[in-house]
Amino acid sequence: MSNYSKILMAVDLSEDSDTVAERALAIARNNDAALHIIHVIEPLSFAYGGDIPMDFSGIQDEIHQQADQQLEKFGTKHGVEKDRRHVVLGRPEVEIHTLAEEMGADLIVVGSHGRYGLALLMGSTANGVLHGAPVDVLAVRVG
């Protein structure tokens, strides 16, 4: 088994995130590795495909502020240093891959609901991260 030195944990800040954190923290402790957390906010324009002529910037800013606050609580609860907490805007799999490369991560830890069939085709962040990841990926079963 590889020794990991930098681990990126991707969370959606739901209750399931604690399960992902427990696994990532155990691996980080066992490998004396630095642990980073990423939470990705999808732009509202992605959800609506840009078809609605509205300015979502105020709502998007509010969502970002709430995510910052939630990640601060989550990071503090799990002992992850402030400079290792990242809230970014974009497509989750793209942003997770990008940060993993930028920080030189050698392991990405994500939660997976184990979807299959149509639910998987409709989009699974864990599946998107797995395919195309430049490093090892651990999908922790949640839910």
Q: Which residue matches tokens 């739901």?
A: 14
pLDDT for the residue numbered 52: 57
Region 68-85: what's the mean pLDDT? 97
Confidence of residue 55 (pLDDT cuts 50, 70, 90): low
| Backbone φ and ψ of 65, nearest 5° | -60, -45
pLDDT for the residue numbered 9: 96
At 13 the three-state DSSP class reads coil
Assess if CATH 3.40.50.620 describes domain 6-141: yes
pLDDT for the residue numbered 118: 41
pLDDT for the residue numbered 141: 86
pLDDT 10s digits, 103-139:
999 999 998 865 544 444 435 787 788 888 889 999 8
- Show me where the domains of the chain are located: 6-141
pLDDT 10s digits, 16-33:
899 999 999 999 999 999
pLDDT for the residue numbered 56: 66
pLDDT for the residue numbered 143: 75
The span from the CA of 17 to the CA of 64, in Å, is 18
pLDDT for the residue numbered 138: 92
130 CB-contact burial (10 Å; exposed 0-12 / middle 13-18 / buried 19+): middle
pLDDT for the residue numbered 114: 57
The span from the CA of 84 to the CA of 36, in Å, is 5
